[in-house]
A and B are shown apart, each in its own frame.
Chain A
Amino acid sequence: MRKVNLAEAIVSLVLITVAGMFLVVSTSIPHSSLADPLGPTAFPQAVFWMIIVLCMCLTVIPGIWQLVSTRSTRRKPREETARKRPAYRRFMESGDAPALLTAILLVLYLLVWRVLGFALTSLIFIWSLSLILSPKDQRSALKSLLVAVFVTAIIYVAFVHGFRVDLPQFALFG
């Protein structure tokens, strides 16, 4: 049976759960009074069921099988490595840390976008993320700030004046 990794398991469980919820919601959609043989729920329900069944076959059943068959054999080496270095250090040294930090910063960026406005938020975002992602030997707060100011100004002018997009302003001015 095929091996299932953690990301596959998470994606499948999310899809099964949300598809299940949508399936329940779809039962409350009123059927049309028109002579519509399929109605508004046939297509969505068919798709939700297919997602659930495929995810079960692709991930959940092989995953359970994998858990049952390899439970005892894979624990020891992990525990040994865990004792050698703290978990946070292992995480920071892994490739996942910059991706997670970028994702967190991305959420924060959008949360304050409407409050501080596009220009100020983008400037801070570009500056801070470029500092976080830059290798230690190339890290320069001033250089990052200059790039942030320059890029934010160009994007702002291009979108607001060139493409006539009404970007969010600083809330105190708006």
Chain B
Amino acid sequence: MSGVGSALSQVFAIASNPSILLYTFIGTGIGLIFGALPGLTATMGTAILVPFTFSMPVAEAFGMLLGVYCGGIAGGAVSATLLNIPGTPSSVVTTLDGYPMARKGQAAKALGWAVTASGVGGFISWLALVLIAPQAARFALRFGPPEYAMLAVMGLTIIASISGKSIAKGIIAGLVGLWLSFVGVDPIVGNFRFTFNQIPLMSGISVMPALIGFFAIPEILSGTRTSYEAVKAQVTSREMFPTLRELWEHAGNLIRSSIIGTFIGIIPATGGNIAAFLAYDQAKRFSKHPEKFGEGIPDGVIASEAANNGVTGGALIPMLTLGIPGDSVTAVLLGALIIHGLQPGPGLFKEHIDVIYSVFTTLLIANIFMVAIMFIGIRGFVKILNVPKHFLTPILIVLCLVGSYAINNSFFDVWVTLVLGLFGYLMTLAKFPMAPIVLGLVLGRLLEGECRRSLILSGGSWSIFVTRPISLVLLIISMAFVFGPYVSRAVQNHNQRRQAA
């Protein structure tokens, strides 16, 4: 009991320390800016701020960095909703319903749901971090190459959900994404493939320049085709804040998507984008009106934002308990821990429990600040929609290209953005969906690398995917995703025919 009392007193001391609160607030604000600007990511924000934290006490340092992490993931929803340009890879899925909502004059409502879902996702993943960190980390360690390969397969099965009206075009778009993922170093042998002796291609096509190319450039060019129609967004408290009844109606989606996000976060080398895609797919499957997804309904925004913020606490679990980063931001945070003279792993919980309490507490505070800043900011954010299009278009183009350049300080990335963007524009004219391309690009290397690794382990036997329990479960879930709708439709038709007879 005294242990719990001591822990609580430490937590209260951290939570009431003005210096920690200030740095966490600053970090969250900076993170939101990084998240909202296309090209700037939470990873980049954290990496830039790490040197500033060298001289800070650990609690202040991690308050600031975790603030950037939470803000950076949640901030992506702003540009995704208002401009159809995902600020981060994690917010790609938010564009599917957030932007149509904004076009219908419901920008504040979409952002309100995005903030609420981000807050719930962050809180549930924080709970997981506090309550089940060691057990969850041990489970994640059981993921080997076959499990990762089946996770990638499961991710790819959701192409049908995000393809809109033509599944065939969605599959082609997903294949284009896989194709782009093949460029660069072979994941097993290390040989260069499809690089055409171009040095910048040897490191492959980065996700962010491709993302900006496929989402921002086509959207901007399409915008110039239509005459300017200012969309009056309703920015009332009623629009921004979901009612208790609405919260109750969406509680299942909020909790399910947050759990998916947390689970994906726990698995190393995954990330918010995979979590958001999977949660969106599940929200559509569980919905009573799946046909409305993609037309602008809150469920799509909720699924994406709850899942991508759910990743934050989940990704910290393997980092703190095992020293294995759950995603790219936690890889930077891992470095920050080491710079502060701390060795992540089981020893951290025994020897530096004060640091663990700092991380737990500041993560919760960062989530609270993130929700507060975003709710206060919604009135300002939606004013973007009132900027005349002839000014907004060139500004967005410059921001996107500078963002693309800033990722690696590479001019090649800017050309990648432009070339893929112009081709993406042609694809949008031909009504190809863009989201499956990103899904293919993100999962391509994981799928190929882990599949080949599995077959090397099994000596070429494909049975390795069905003889390991987790892999088999993931395979069965994937098959249920693909064939489930057809089977249930066949059963329904059969029952109807029997009733008619």
Q: A95-B226, A103-B422, A135-B390 are in contact. Are A118 and B402 (CB under 8 A)?
A: yes
Q: A22-B179, A122-B398 are in contact. Are A36 and B455 (CB under 8 A)?
A: yes
Question: What residue of chain B has the Cβ atom nearest to residue A31's Cβ?
Answer: B189
Inter-chain contacts of A96 with B (CB < 8 A)? 225
B221 and A126: CB pair below 8 A? no
Inter-chain contacts of B402 with A (CB < 8 A)? 118, 155, 159, 165, 167
B222 and A38: CB pair below 8 A? no
Total CB contacts across the A-B interface at under 8 A: 169
Question: What residue of chain A has the Cβ atom nearest to residue B226's Cβ?
Answer: A95
Binary B-proximity of A120-142 (CB < 8 A = 1, otherwise 0): 00100110011111110010000
Asked if B463 is at the interface (CB within 8 A of a chain A CB), the reply is no
A129 and B225: CB pair below 8 A? no
Q: A7-B426, A51-B172, A166-B409 are in contact. Are A36 and B456 (CB under 8 A)?
A: yes
B393 and A102: CB pair below 8 A? yes
A149 to chain B, nearest CB (A): 12
B427 to chain A, nearest CB (A): 5
B171 and A54: CB pair below 8 A? yes
B430 to chain A, nearest CB (A): 4
B188 and A34: CB pair below 8 A? yes
Binary A-proximity of B389-433 (CB < 8 A = 1, otherwise 0): 111011101110110011001010011001000110111011110
A62 to chain B, nearest CB (A): 11
Q: Give the residue of B399, B411, B418, B448 whose beta carbon is less than 8 angstroms from that of A106.
A: B418
A47 and B391: CB pair below 8 A? no
A113 to chain B, nearest CB (A): 8
Question: What residue of chain A has the Cβ atom nearest to residue B225's Cβ?
Answer: A95
A29 and B411: CB pair below 8 A? no
Question: What residue of chain A has the Cβ atom nearest to residue B168's Cβ?
Answer: A58
The A-contacting residues of B in range 365-409, CB under 8 angstroms, are 388-391, 393-395, 397-399, 401-402, 405-406, 409
B397 and A129: CB pair below 8 A? yes
A135 and B228: CB pair below 8 A? yes
Question: What residue of chain A has the Cβ atom nearest to residue B406's Cβ?
Answer: A165
Binary A-proximity of B175-208 (CB < 8 A = 1, otherwise 0): 1101100100010110101101000000000000
Q: A14-B423, A50-B175, A133-B393 are in contact. Are A7 and B430 (CB under 8 A)?
A: yes
B455 and A44: CB pair below 8 A? no
A162 to chain B, nearest CB (A): 9
Q: A54-B168, A167-B405 are in contact. Are A102 and B390 (CB under 8 A)?
A: no
The B-contacting residues of A in range 1-56, CB under 8 angstroms, are 5, 7-8, 10-12, 14-15, 19, 22, 25-26, 29-30, 32, 34-38, 40, 43-44, 47-48, 50-51, 54-55
B194 and A38: CB pair below 8 A? no
Q: How far is the CA of A38 from the CA of B176 in the complex (A)?
A: 21
Inter-chain contacts of B397 with A (CB < 8 A)? 102, 106, 109, 125, 129
B388 and A38: CB pair below 8 A? no
Number of residues on chain A facing chain B (CB within 8 A): 68
Q: How far is the CA of A48 from the CA of B217 in the complex (A)?
A: 25
Q: How far is the CA of A34 from the CA of B459 in the complex (A)?
A: 11
Inter-chain contacts of A88 with B (CB < 8 A)? none
A125 and B48: CB pair below 8 A? no
B494 to chain A, nearest CB (A): 29
A-side interface mostly:
helix
Number of residues on chain B facing chain A (CB within 8 A): 63
Q: How far is the CA of A37 from the CA of B233 in the complex (A)?
A: 57
B82 to chain A, nearest CB (A): 17
Q: How far is the CA of A155 from the CA of B169 in the complex (A)?
A: 37
Question: What residue of chain A has the Cβ atom nearest to residue B447's Cβ?
Answer: A43
Question: What residue of chain A has the Cβ atom nearest to residue B409's Cβ?
Answer: A166
Asked if A112 is at the interface (CB within 8 A of a chain B CB), the reply is no
A153 to chain B, nearest CB (A): 12
Q: Give the residue of B168, B182, B414, B456 whose beta carbon is less than 8 angstroms from that of A43.
A: B182
A59 to chain B, nearest CB (A): 9
Asked if B44 is at the interface (CB within 8 A of a chain A CB), the reply is yes
Asked if B250 is at the interface (CB within 8 A of a chain A CB), the reply is no
Inter-chain contacts of A37 with B (CB < 8 A)? 452, 455-456, 460
A18 to chain B, nearest CB (A): 9
Q: How far is the CA of A13 from the CA of B28 in the complex (A)?
A: 47
The A-contacting residues of B in range 277-328, CB under 8 angstroms, are none
A47 to chain B, nearest CB (A): 5
Asked if B495 is at the interface (CB within 8 A of a chain A CB), the reply is no
| Chain A residues within CB distance 8 Å of chain B | 5, 7-8, 10-12, 14-15, 19, 22, 25-26, 29-30, 32, 34-38, 40, 43-44, 47-48, 50-51, 54-55, 57-58, 95-96, 98-99, 102-103, 106-107, 109-110, 113-114, 118, 122, 125-126, 129-135, 138, 144, 147-148, 151-152, 155, 159, 163-168
| Chain B residues within CB distance 8 Å of chain A | 40, 44, 48, 168-169, 171-172, 175-176, 178-179, 182, 186, 188-189, 191, 193-194, 196, 217, 220-222, 224-226, 228, 388-391, 393-395, 397-399, 401-402, 405-406, 409, 411, 414-415, 418, 422-423, 425-427, 429-432, 447-448, 451-452, 455-456, 459-460
Q: What would 9 A/B residue contacts be, using CB atoms closer than 8 Å?
A: A34-B456, A44-B182, A58-B172, A102-B224, A125-B394, A125-B398, A126-B394, A129-B394, A132-B390
Top 4 A-B pairs, shortest CB-CB distance: A7-B429, A95-B225, A133-B390, A134-B390
Known pairs A25-B194, A38-B455; list 18 more (Cβ under 8 Å).
A30-B191, A34-B188, A35-B456, A36-B455, A37-B460, A54-B171, A58-B172, A95-B226, A103-B221, A103-B425, A110-B418, A126-B394, A126-B395, A129-B390, A130-B393, A148-B394, A155-B402, A167-B405
